[in-house]
Amino acid sequence: MIPGIAKTNHMFMFNALNLVYKSKYALEKYLVPDYNGGGAFYDAEPYYVFCNSSGDNLIVLTKAYGSGLVNEWAIQKFTIE
């Protein structure tokens, strides 16, 4: 995490011309099973964000914030409205 940057589990969309807020996308949480039928959810923290060439899909590389997982990275995809 970058010092001075607040942790968020959302992606915010703004108009590129005037930076007016358009929408917000919630990142899926990570489920860490406890192997007893339950588990704990951890917030997904966005690290890298990409857009496809047509501009209608958002691809986000996320990390499970504070989970301690060995494989704590994932890819999440959103359709931009």
Q: For 73, list phi and psi in degrees, rounded to 5.
A: -105, 150
Supply the DSSP symbol for 35: S
Instruction: Evaluate if residue 1 carries a pLDDT over 70.
Output: no
Three state DSSP letters for 53-78: CCCCEEEEEEEECCCCCCCCEEEEEE
The C-alpha atoms of residue 46 and residue 63 are separated, in whole angstroms, by 7
| pLDDT one-digit tens code per residue, 20-69 | 999 899 999 988 888 888 888 888 988 899 999 998 899 999 988 777 77
Q: Residue with structure tokens 């703004």?
A: 14
CA distance 49 to 51: 7
